[in-house]
Each structure stands twice: as C-alpha cells, then as structure tokens.
Amino acid sequence: MGDGHCHIEKMAGAEQVLKEELSTSTLQSFGERQSGCINDGLAYRTDHGPLFVKFNSNSAGVEMFQGEYESLKALRNTQVLTVPKPIKLIKLRNGSAMLVIEYLDMKQLRDFSALGQEVARLHLHNTEQGRRAKKAERTITAKELQYDYVDQYGFHVPTYAGYSRQSNEWNDSWVNFFARKMEDYVSLVEKKHNDRDSRPLWHSLVPHLSRLFHDVSVEPALLHGDLWRGNIAQTDRAPVSFDPISLYGHSEFDLSIMLKHGGFPSSFFNAYHSLVPKTPGFEDRYDLYSLHHHFQIWSHFGDDLVEDALGIVEPEVFKFAFGSGFKNSTLDLLRKLNRKLQTT
C-alpha cells in the first residue's frame, strides 16, 4: 500500500507550521526518516530538546493521530508501561496531520522478562483501580479520592489499525464488543476485496462465541492493542513500546497479537504469567483472537500471500499461519472454529 510513504513531501509548509506550533526557532532533523506502512516519522532538534514527529497526509490522518495521542496518554497514566509522551497533535489546513511525541533513544529489546512484567501490570491496572475505588467508598474520605476505573469495553475515541478504523464504542459485554469489531472487518473485506465467503462462516460462529468464555471472567483491561516486535524496543533504563491502538478489553487479546506475529521468547510469557496466570480455554480463545489478526492482515494486503507482510510477521510464523494465502487461511480458521464450537 503506497499511501504510507512520502507524506512529508505531500505536506508543503509542514516544517514551518511545526516551528510555529512548537514555538521553536530551531528545527533541525537528525537520524533516518522512518517510513512505515502508514506514516512517515522524523526526529528533530528543537529549543525544547529532541522530539519525534509523525506525518500523515491521508484524510484519516487527524483522527488516526488523535487515537494514538489518547492511547499514549492512557498508557502513560498507568505509570506501569513505558511509552513516549504525547506532546501535540497538529492539524494542517489541507487535512494533513502531524503528531509530536517525546523522542526516545531506542535500541533493540533484550530484556523480554522486564517487558512481560510491565505488560502484566498494565493488564492488572484497571482491576486494581476498581478494588481501590470500592475500598475508598467505605472510608469517610471517599469523596476526596478519585480512581479512574473503567467498567466497560471499548475506548473513548476511535483508533486505527493501519487505515482500518476501530470505532471502539462502549459495550457492557466483551463478547458483543468483539463480535461487532469482527463484523466491521467482515464488511471491510467485502468492500475492499469483493469477498462473499467469510460472512456466512462468521455468522454461523457468532451464536456460539459465549462458549469460549464460560470458565473465565473478563475484567476490562487497558490494552496496548498492537504489541508486535515492530512496536517494542528499549532505552538504557527500561523496555519501551509505541504505536498503540488502545482499548479496554480482554488481556488475552494483547497476548494473541504477540503469539500470532511471533518473535517473543518464552522469557516474556513466563514473566507475564507469573503475574497473570493462564485461565481455562486460553488456547481456544487464542484461535478466536487470531481470527481478528487474520482479517486485519487480509484487509490490508489482499487475498494472496505477499512478501511485504514479512515486515509485520516473523518469517517462522509467516508460512505456517498464512501459507495458503491471507483469504484462504482466514476462511480455514473460521471453519476450524465452527467445527470446534458446534460440536462441543
């Protein structure tokens, strides 16, 4: 998808706007331009120190960056997961957008155990906030104490997985929230790739989804939403993650992204599960959440296997998970889940 490259060239006057919005006389780029599937990124020296700026000239850029800004803000507020500080969202007259965030000197992640513990504490944070809130209600100072406990599934703004909009409308049921999320992807592949095969398979599966959750209580957890190897690194002090697509949902959904994309060693999962133990049915729910990631990759890259996807899926996982093509592998997984849930 060529939309993700050369945004800066399409955004005439962007750097002058940056200088004005940041109130800086110094704006000197350094390092290599980061050109991903969706955005361009560049580091700058400014009067206020180094900053990192993401550019997007697409019409969805403003809403996309608003979702990332709010995701970074929510994650930082937990004080358990290290992410760049969001500085400013800048809208240009032509509809383009820039997101200014803290510059972090990052290198390849080595300490996966530390990241595993951070992610576990992130997933436990909302539950702990709820416990504190209940305890505070029984004290005479309860009115003076505020705990931001969230008791629904969703997020307060839309976010984007690539150019796929995630509406994130609040829902009291995780199963219903996830089903709606999947329905959006089914509609997307119908629209983009003229698919007519996935909808009947998905609709036959929906009435049985609750069976996967009989033995587990799904407490809303704040999720990063896109934790794969391309979105993690470390500084000299700690692991760091970035490019979040946050929502309040099932903690296993975050883990499924790592498992599906590959590249996370056992040290990560051992550290994570030492704080958040596996619950019954984990493997079956992983198949369900994998379905989401299959649809996401299919919608982005099309029906057939393309080598471009190797950038987001580890090579050892790529052919095993998607060897029959993005469409066919998704349909195969839909059939597998239908067989499993309709015979139990």
Which residues carry out catalysis?
226
Which token pair is 216?
A: 């587990």
Please name the residue that has the structure tokens 């049985």.
Answer: 208
Closest CA to 62 of 98, 36, 29, 38: 98
Q: Look at residue 285 and give its three-state secondary structure.
A: helix
Is the Cβ–Cβ distance between 203 and 342 less than 8 Å?
no
User: Which residues lie below 8 Å from residue 72, measured CB to CB, with a gap of 6+?
Assistant: 83, 84, 85, 86, 101, 242, 244
Give the SS3 label for residue 174. helix
Q: Hunting for tokens 């190897």 — which residue is that?
A: 229
Measured between alpha carbons, how far is 135 from 31 in angstroms, rounded to an integer?
A: 50
DSSP assignments along 26-38, one per residue: -EEEEEEEEE-SS
Beta strands in the chain (DSSP E): 27-35, 40-46, 49-56, 86-91, 97-102, 159-161, 164-166, 221-223, 232-234, 239-241, 247-249
d(CA 238, CA 118): 10
- Dihedral over Cα of 63, 69, 74, 75: its sign: positive
Contact 166, 150 (CB under 8 A): no
DSSP H helices, 138-210, are 174-193, 198-205
DSSP 51-73: EEEEEE-STTHHHHHHHHHHHHH
